[in-house]
Amino acid sequence: MMGEILREKTINGRQLQIVQGDITKEETDAIVNAANSHLAHGGGVAAAIARAAGEALIRESENWVRQHGPVPTGQVAVTTGGNLKAKWVIHAVGPVWAEYAPEEADRLLSAALENSLSAAEERKVSSLSLPAISAGIFGFPKERCAQVLLTTTKAYWEKKPSSSVKVVRFVLFDEATVRAFLSVFDELTKRGIF
C-alpha cells in the first residue's frame, strides 16, 4: 500500500512526490534505506526496513560489509528487497550532522542521494522511494535536509535527462518531517526553483 501524495511536481517529464506513509509498504521498484556505514540496521528507518525485508536483507548487508568494508559516508550499497514489494534496497550512508561542518554535511547528503539515483539507474529502476536521509537519528536539520534532497533530485534529472528513474517519492513518516518537506517544497515552488 502506497502512502498519500501530499505534493507532486513534474520535472523534465519525471515525477517528484512528497508522500506521508510507511516506506516499507512502498511498491516502487526500489527503496532507499538511511543506513550507517556498517549496514547494521539497528534503529530508525533502517530497523523498520530490516524487519519488513527479513533475514535475506540482513545476510546480504553483512556479506556486503565483509566483502567491501564499511560504506563511506555519501556512498551506497545495494541489496535485494527480501520480503518487501521493492526489488532493491539501496543503502545510502548520509552524514551525521554533528560530525561535519554544515557545507560538508550538505555535500555528503547530496552525494548520498546522487549515488542512490545512479545505483537505481544502473539497475534500470523506474520508481524510487526514499526517506529523509540523515534527518532522523543522524540529526540533520529537517528543513535543510529537504532543501538538499529536493534540489539534488532536480539537478540530477537536469544532468541526466534520459535517466531510467521516472518517479522519486520522498516517503516521510512523522509529522515534523512532513511539515519540513512541505514547507521547503512550497518555498522552492514559490521562488520558481521548481
Q: Euclidean distance between the first and final Cα of the chain, in Å?
A: 28
Q: Does residue 102 carry a pLDDT above 90? A: yes
Determine the longest span between alpha carbons in the chain, in angstroms. 47
Residue 44: the pLDDT is: 84
Residue 1: the pLDDT is: 58
What is the pairing mode between strands 88-93 and 76-80?
antiparallel
Whether 180 contacts 139, CB under 8 Å: no
What does the domain layout of the chain look like in residue ranges?
4-187
Please give the order of strands across the beta sheet that includes 30-35: 4-11, 14-20, 167-172, 127-130, 30-35, 88-93, 76-80
What is the identity of the amino acid at 189?
T
CATH class of 4-187: alpha beta
Exposed e or buried b for every residue in 101-132, given b needs 16+ CB within 10 A?
A: eeeebbebbbbbbbbbbbbbbeeebebbbbbb
Q: Which of 42, 87, 91 is nearest to 65 (CA)?
A: 91
Share of the chain above pLDDT 90, in %: 91
Whether 133 contacts 113, CB under 8 Å: yes
Q: Does residue 105 carry a pLDDT above 70? A: yes
User: Average pLDDT of the chain?
Assistant: 95
Does the predicted model carry a pTM greater than 0.85?
yes
How do residues 20-73 score in pLDDT, each as one tens digit? 999 999 999 999 999 999 999 888 888 999 999 999 999 999 999 999 999 999
How do residues 148-175 score in pLDDT, each as one tens digit? 999 999 999 999 999 999 999 999 999 9
